[in-house]
Amino acid sequence: MKYFNPEVETLPLDKLRQLQDGRLQKLAAYLYTQVPFYRKQWDEASLRPSDIRGVNDLYKLPFTRKHHLRENYPFGLFAMPVAETIRLHASSGTTGKPTVVGYSRKDIGIFSEVVARSLVASGCRPGMKLQNAYGYGLFTGGLGLHYGGELLGMTVIPVSGGMTERQLLLLQDFRPEVICCTPSYAQRLSEELAARGISPEQLNVHTAILGAEPWTEAIRTQVEAGMGVKAVNIYGLSEIIGPGVSNEDYEERGTGSYIWEDHFFPEVVDKDTGEPLPEGEYGVLVFTTLTKEAMPLVRYWTNDITSIYYEHSEKRTHIKMGPIRGRADDMLIIRGVNLFPTQVEDVIKDFNQLMPSYQLIVSRDGAMDSLAVKVEVKEDVLRALGRPNLQQPPAALPDALRTLHGALGRKIKESIGLTMAITLVEPGSIPRSEGGKLNRVLDLRKSRN
Ligand code: DLL
């Protein structure tokens, strides 16, 4: 089994465009009659649904942004009566009220299908057991993977997030072939396995499907070695449907994730001007849902920074997206330099004495913002040095660590352009994921004002 939906996943591009164009025309007419928000927005721009003949006309339409969802809280953007939906999900924002999304029965069918496609791309097959360690509840991760796994014919183990002891017990006793969770939680599980002396060979798990937060090749390497798996990326957001908007193919790991573009039409636009960018350029990812009924979104501004490109792969025709560099609102501006936390992670991965476990601490020193980074040294390195005390000033550290400290500082300065105070710390001393998304930035500026 190569595909869940072979016909659609390999549809020639011209046919895929025709399908998208037809779906978009229908969507425009539907939204104009069903959702006052869109009618008003398009009237103000003197646009009629008939002006939208296909995806090439999308640029004419205004963006929908998170604040529009907030202003229409909770159900104002629904295109059908709430009584006709069969499920609600919500994601908690950093400020105030959650973002609410609704699903019709058909929408849940689409959701399950795109997750099933994602699972097959990840290497899952009917009959395999899936330990689902994404949180169940208002978060779309748990139920999204659950329904997709069942549709594919997997045996789903609905353990939910956290409860590390139980996760380890089930991994050993139920012997699932596949686990899905956040990448930071997979790091945590890898470390717990090592701490208990459980080697990956004692487990049956061969695939980890990781998403819901940004991650890098360094984390892939750590999790693949620590759990004895192939780690693949799953991406999505509740507003668009949940997990399964795009997914990596396990045989093409590292080359980007296929976007199921027959349902979710992607654009990448300039984060300041909103102008569409050519293939391969980095900008904000924007999606139009082509088939959803309960709460379709037009040109939804995800705030995620990435690029999209056709690879002309033998396997599928759909467009790919690269890894998410970060969210536009996670971007730190330190003394005028723009920085995504994952850029620091990218530097750390080149030092094999360090773990991909770090924390960035932003503080304000007078009028200047400053950035410090804490990063963990690997256990075997410390053991070989006779467990030195890391709490002394860098100059007093053993030679090997002093050199490492200096080299890391220089590499960060060279590749990011910032001087950062670096502290080397013991493995395990930086907060780990408790089962959900992990925030690697501690912003002390926010707590002060
Ligand atoms: O995180 C849906 C999901 C669940 C995806 C399970 C994958 C697995 P939200 O809580 O609405 O939905 O958060 C969406 O999380 O806009 C990205 O910023 C981030 N995100 C999700 N997947 C990835 C990924 C779920 N693979 C937000 N890489 C998105 C990087 C991701 N960031």
Residue with the nearest Cα to atom 13 of ligand 1? Answer: 237
Per the confidence metrics, is the pTM higher than 0.75?
yes
Choose which residue among 235, 331, 340, 437 to substitute to test ligand 1 binding: the one with the highest number of ligand atoms within 8 A of its C-beta. 235
Tell me the C-alpha distance between 33 and 26, whole Å.
11
What residues contact residue 94 under an 8 Å CB cut-off, 6+ apart?
none
CA of 238 to the centre of ligand 1 (A): 8
Residues 356 and 316 in one domain: no
Judgement on whether residues 81 and 209 belong to the same structural domain of the protein: yes
Residues 355 and 257 in one domain: no
CATH number at residue 149: 3.40.50.12780
Mean pLDDT across 315-336: 90
Cβ proximity of 330 and 302 under 8 Å: no
- Please tell me if the CB atom of residue 183 comes closer than 6 angstroms to any atom of ligand 1: no
- Of 183-192, 242-251, 438-447, least confident by mean pLDDT is 438-447
- 278 in the same domain as 141: yes
Let me know whether 312 and 361 are in one domain: no
Range of lowest pLDDT (147-151, 228-232, 322-326, 400-404) = 322-326
Look-up: residue for tokens 């976007």? 259
Which pLDDT score is estimated for 448? 46
Choose among 365, 291, 339: nearest CA to 440.
339
Q: What average pLDDT does the structure give for the chain?
A: 95
Window from 121-130, 262-271, 287-296, 355-364 with minimum mean pLDDT: 355-364
- On whether both 153 and 253 belong to a single domain, the answer is yes
Query: What is the SS3 assignment for 60?
Result: helix
Q: Whose CA is nearest to atom 12 of ligand 1?
A: 237
Nearest CA-CA partner of 213 in 188, 190, 234, 231:
234
Residues 173, 132, single domain; the answer is yes
Is residue 204 domain-shared with residue 340, that is, in the same domain?
no
Structural domains in the chain (count): 2
pLDDT in tens, 77-101: 999 999 999 999 998 765 678 999 9
- Asked if residue 223 has pLDDT above 50, the reply is yes
Among 279, 297, 327, residue at a domain's last position: 327
Residues 300, 354 within the same domain: no
- Whether residues 56 and 182 fall in one domain: yes
Is any ligand 1 atom within 6 A of the Cβ of residue 235? yes
Domain span at residue 116? 1-327
34-43 pLDDT, tens digit per residue, is 999 999 999 9
pLDDT on residue 95: 62
CATH number of 357's domain: 3.30.300.30
Distance of alpha carbon 16 from alpha carbon 314, whole angstroms: 16
Q: What is the reported pLDDT for 447? A: 55
Pocket test for ligand 1, best of 117, 143, 213 (most atoms within 8 A of CB): 213
Which of 307, 327, 347 finishes a domain?
Answer: 327
Last residue of a domain, one of 279, 307, 327: 327
- Answer yes or no: do 185 and 256 share one domain: yes
Whether ligand 1 lies within 6 angstroms of the CB of 397 is answered as: no
Q: Are residues 64 and 108 in the same domain?
A: yes
Average pLDDT for 184-188: 96
**C-alpha of 327 from chain center:** 10
Q: Is 302 in the pocket of ligand 1 (CB under 6 A)?
A: yes
Angle at 339 between CA 337 and CA 416, to 5 degrees: 70
